[in-house]
Amino acid sequence: MNSINRYYLPAEQWSRCELELTGDEAHHCVRVLRQKVGDWVVVFDGEGRSVKCQIVVLEKSRVVLEQDGPLEMQERGLAIHLCQAIPKAGNMELIVQKAVELGVASIQPLATANTVAKANSKKVQKWQRIALEACKQCGQNWLPKVSEVAEINSWLDQREKAELEIVAALDPRSEEMSQVLEGNRDVASASLLVGPEGDFSSNEYDAAIESGFKPVGLGDIVLRVETATLYCLSVLRYTLS
Please give the pLDDT value at position 1.
Answer: 38
Residue 221 confidence (pLDDT): 85
8 A C-beta contact, residue 156 and residue 65: no
The predicted structure's pLDDT at residue 89: 82
User: Which residues pair with residue 224 across a beta bridge?
Assistant: none
Q: What are the residue ranges spanned by the domains of the chain?
A: 6-73, 79-240
pTM, two decimals, is 0.93
Distance CA 160, CA 109 (A): 15
First-residue to last-residue Cα distance in the chain = 23
DSSP H or E run through 241: none
Average confidence (pLDDT) per 10 residues, the chain, 241 residues: 84 90 96 96 97 96 94 93 94 97 97 92 97 96 97 96 95 91 93 95 96 93 93 95 84
The CATH number of the structural domain formed by 6-73 is 2.40.240.20
User: Helix crossing, 121-138 with 91-101: angle to 10°?
Assistant: 40
Q: Give the pLDDT confidence of 67-78 residue by residue, as tens digits.
A: 998 999 999 889
Q: What is the pLDDT of residue 140?
A: 95
CATH code, 79-240: 3.40.1280.10
- Helix (H) and strand (E) counts for the chain? 7, 14
User: HSE on the CB side for 74, CA within 13 Å?
Assistant: 18
